[in-house]
Each structure stands twice: as C-alpha cells, then as structure tokens.
Amino acid sequence: MQASSYVWTLRELARHTKSKTAINKFCSNFLCLGKGYRGHSHRSTIANENLKRVQVLKDRNMCNQIGVRYCNGSGILIMRKLANLTAPGGGNVIGNIHDANSLVFYHPECTENTRKEIKKSFTTIENFISEEEEDILMKEIEPHIKRLRYEFDHWDDAIHGYREVERSKWGKASSAIITRLRDAAFPEPSSVMPLVHVLDLAEGGVIKPHIDSVRFCGNIISGLCLLSDAVMRLVHDKEKNQIVDVLLRRKTLYIMRDESRYNYTHEVLGEKDSYLGNLKVKKGRRVSLIRRNRPID
C-alpha cells in the first residue's frame, strides 16, 4: 500500500464531512476499493449520493494489478489517494495505512534493498480500532487473563514478563472486530488459524528477537496493539547490521508477510530501550491480539 492510502469507516467519513459538495470533491480524488459500504446504515447518505464519483473495484485481481489490498469487510472503505487533498473538514483519518516509512527508523547501515523489503512486506494501519472498540476487547479479555500470573520463562526463551491465552469464541461485538482484522490482514481468510493468540506483556516485559517457526504458521503474522505504544525491531537474520525499528502505536494493526516474516527477527523493545531514533516511546502494559495463517505445505 502507498503511504498516502487511507481506510475510512463510513460513519467517520460522514461525521467529518460537512457537505455533499465537500465529500464529492474529496471522494473524486480517491479510488474506493472493495464493497464494504453496501448494507451500511449510512448507505443512503453516503453511497447513493456521494460515492458515485468514486471508482468502485470489486474484483480481487484488479486490486492486485494496481498494487492495493482487496478488502470486503463490512462497513469499511479502503481508498487510495490519487491527488494531494486534505481530509474534508480537517477530520481525522481512521486507519491511516503506512508502508512502514513514516513510522520507521532505518539504522544508518541499512541498504536500499532492506528498505525495499520492509516497504513491501511490513504494513501498519493506525487507529484500526476506536477507543470504544478497544474497551470492548479488553472487557472480554480481562476476566480470562487476570487470573494468570506474568511469566518470565518461555519455552523458547522468546518472551519475558508475559501472560497469554488463546481464544476461538468471542462475543458478538468482539467477533466483528476480529473478523475485520482477519479480512484486512489475510488475502485468503480461509487460511487463517482459528485461535486468536492474546499476549499480555507487562510494562517491564520484552519480546526477544525471534522468527516464528514455519512449523506453526505460514507467511503472514498480524497483530492488533492495545493499551500502549511500543517499538518493534526487525533485524535481518543473516546481515545483523540491517536493523529497522517500527513504531507500533496503540490501536495499530501491523502485518508482517513474506520477507519481513521469514528473513528478519522481530522483537518488542523493553521500556529502557524503547526509542524510535532519538524519540523516546513510552511503553506500558501492552496487550496484542495475534493472528497467523496456517503453515505452508
């Protein structure tokens, strides 16, 4: 995805746009991908009146040809910016999609090839969920995870100061969020493993450098970050001086695929090392919902 791409929910698009003229001007500068607006409660207000000037792409192959992600999630529009234009009414964009440039610190030794690999294979979607949706998820998670102690020994020594559960059954509201996560991160939803890995990292906890075993998951790993910002560090498995730090803000969805999943170790830096370049990133308790696709035969 391009750094100038955006994800909007229709509700946010309606709220931040003051007039039909403004939204028509705004939407005429975008491609609307997928068919998420159909059936939405704002359809008569938004779709029928204001999206007529937006090219709607329903074909997955066409999306692949122009280099954007296909999405058929309910109530989501994925728009690719065609021209520089400020959001109507100065509204906040929901789900600003980055190609890992604006939230990334490339260490000085990084080569152009490293930059290309990360740009191609690591995506973050900021504000993928709202604060209300974060509360919904945490209210469902807390009763199950608060009974557990934070652990400091992991079977492969990859995590310190953590507790975790795996869940397949969620309440109605949470299920809608989990489905949206799946559809945004995985081109083939049927390939996604059914269990959601809930990882609760204490304020002083760390995830040490590791590459997930190919025995347990396929080419895509995604995570939804709750409660706290953090810095994820990627280090090339063979060329140890190729180091890339990515800021994962609270409510961000990250997606690692192919090169970044297989060729780079990933870790979450501890509080004392939590910097993006010279910027100190405050890390508190962090909960992440992690999804993986099935191992590739």
Express each pLDDT in 191-203 by its tens digit. 999 999 999 999 9
* Mean pLDDT, rounded, of the chain: 74
Tell me how far apart the alpha carbons of residues 273 and 287 are, in angstroms, rounded to a whole number: 19
Tell me how far apart the alpha carbons of residues 172 and 150 are, in angstroms, rounded to a whole number: 28
Q: What is the mean pLDDT of residues 14-36?
A: 44
Q: What is the mean pLDDT of residues 251-274?
A: 94
Task: Read off the pTM.
Answer: 0.67
pLDDT of residue 189: 86
pLDDT of residue 154: 59
Closest to 264 in 3D by CA, of 107, 68, 102: 107
Domains and CATH numbers, the chain: 5-94 (no CATH), 121-292 (2.60.120.590)
Please check the confidence at residue 84 and state whether its pLDDT lies above 90: no
pLDDT of residue 279: 84
Which tens digit of pLDDT belongs to each residue from 119-170? 999 999 989 999 999 999 999 999 999 999 998 875 556 788 999 999 999 9
Which of 83 and 240 is assigned the larger pLDDT?
Answer: 240
Tell me how far CA of residue 275 lies from CA of 27, 247, 271, in angstroms: 37, 9, 9
Tell me how far apart the alpha carbons of residues 243 and 252 are, in angstroms, rounded to a whole number: 21
Please check the confidence at residue 31 and state whether its pLDDT lies above 50: no
Q: Is 100 left (phi over 0), alpha (psi -120 to 50) or beta?
A: left
